[in-house]
Amino acid sequence: MIDDAAGFTSPILGRGRVPIRAQRGTALRARSWRAEGLLRMFENVLEVGENSAELVVYASLGKAARNWEAAGLIAESLLALDETDTLILQSGSPIGMLPTAADAPLVLSAVNNTVGRWATPELFYERHARGQTIWGGLTAAAWQYIGRQGVLAGTYELLRVIGESHFGGSAAENYSGRWMLTAGMGGMGSSQPISAAMLGLSSLTVECDPAKIARLQSAGGIDAVADSVDEALAMIVGSRSGHVAIGLLGNAAEVFAEIERRGVIPDIVTDQTAAHDARYGYVPIGYSLDGWLSARESDPVRVERDARRSIGVQIDSMIRFADAGAIVFENGNNLRVQAIAALDDIGTAGDTRTAAEARILRLPGFMEAYLRPLFARGIGPFRWIALSGDPADLDRIDDEVAAMFPGRPEVARWIELARRHVTEQGLPARSCWLGHGERSAVAARVNAMVASGDLSAPVLFTRDHLDSAAMTHPRIGTEGMRDGSDGVTDWPLLDAMVLASAGADLVAIHSGGGGYSGWMQSAGVSIVADGAPSTVTRLRRALDGDSGLGVLRHATAGYEDAVASATVGGETGRAPVRWFAPETTTPNSGPDAPLKGQGQ
């Protein structure tokens, strides 16, 4: 590995005039590895993002900073940041620095958090157009995005659990002869065919942008591109003795409807387009790609209406697939919310509307249907990034982690599969679903490896915001909570406070933008293992506090797996939390009642 030129500052200071590549090597530019690690991650999300020239990381609008002036000032501030100061970011723009303490966060960030009556798509778009806010995505403005691998690991876990729930297991033979119909090949959706292939499941993924299809095919994510529905289905049928990943250029709503009309029933049906944003994330029926790009600026209201109506068509097909025996679920992109909004667009009212909404909501969300038992144990999308840029460092960490948890063989299996199937994007990184106690154990071990010189440079630990305590979204991560707390945002706010008090290096609080406006609240964390003895304390406090709060959140909601985890000290037995069971607290009057309009 060759270090980048000593004394080089940051390509972000070029303010969009030079390509962005995250710094590699062992030379420091900032005053500490804590600040250096955050700066390299800021650079990294732009290196692997979908449109770095506009600071867009993924999902059409998810940005790393508000504008290039703000981005440059953030980079300059990180280069000069002392370990006793904290940089304050407000909706992607640096506000100033405050003197804090040596074990306080270096960066505190809040993105697009508004009072309830301001949390609407219309007001977000107005403020966004005026340069007053951004949508930070989940990991874009918190500089935690690692390319498709981050969501790939979650999609793999989801399909693995589906196999165990419906197909008799998650070995390759359990998926043999089965296939998944889905859509979307953006930064998130491109993970789907790869995750399916890792398990031996065939897939047909619909995408309307030929550039995204070509990019994924060149990365090895799909095996072939079909020219028509006929050819695509023939390829799927021809793969019944093995597995194949097929891409198809087309409109998701039209293709889903055509396949359903033919009576062809996939084993699994879902979607991972950017349907959460009806203006910028979903091409309606009847629009060319160029026509849509133009119309969303000239007539955004019409585009949104037409997109919602097309989503309604797609949802109708998905419901019909489910009625015919397919496993169908929404994969976290507000598809059902948009279809319900389409009912209002066409004036559906009264009992007819009530019945139509109930029909749409028959489709479950992926979290409630499959992954909640993992979240109840604090198991979720943890990740680590080798700040050196040296793949050998990632290999050493992978070797270590694969041997650490013999009681959970799925961890070693995932790492082995990821090494074979996940192509490198940006700094060497690994996403791995680890639970309460496991995350801190890995971080402490890695910190020792940095201290001993087994790793050439420090390692940054983070996670997706869609985690056990870190996110509230009543149609995604917290849908169908047993105590009715689907929309309660106390938990991500508490999580951010726990992480800040524990000494994480970056703590972020994000709220939804665009089509997610008014629907979500999340918290993010990054912390660098720099090899210092004092860092172990911060790593354990932050990571155990983060996952431990997730266990408490689910125990409070009535999940037995969470109660058991709290009782035994997490997955390792060495991460105790104290839960005040209902007998020792003032009982609630009952589960939170569903709110009027909760399904809107």
208 catalytic? Reply is no
State the DSSP code for 483: T
Tokens 């089965």 found at: 178
Torsion over CA of 38, 40, 45 and 48, rounded to 10 degrees? -160
At 398, is the secondary structure helix, strand, or coil? helix
Give CA angle at 543 (537, 544), nearest 5°.
Answer: 85
Q: What is the DSSP string of 504-545?
A: -SEEEEEE--GGGTTT-EEEEEEEEE-S-HHHHHHHHHHHHH
Which candidate, 139, 476, 534, places its Cα nearest to that of 337?
476
Q: Pick the catalytic residue from 385, 394, 432, 443.
A: 432
Residue 339, exposed/middle/buried by CB under 10 A (0-12, 13-18, 19+)?
A: buried
Give CA–CA dist 271/236, Å, rounded: 18
Phi and psi based region of residue 570 (left: phi greater than 0; alpha: psi -120 to 50; beta: remaining): left
User: CA 415 from chain center: how many Å?
Assistant: 19
Give CA–CA dist 184/189, Å, rounded: 5
Give CA–CA dist 247/203, Å, rounded: 8
Residue 232, exposed/middle/buried by CB under 10 A (0-12, 13-18, 19+)?
A: buried
CB neighbour list of residue 149: distance below 8 Å, 6 or more residues apart: 191, 418, 422, 425, 429, 430, 431
The Cα diameter of the chain in Å comes to: 69
In 10 A of CB 553, how many CB atoms? 28
CB neighbour list of residue 481: distance below 8 Å, 6 or more residues apart: 557
Active site residues: 432
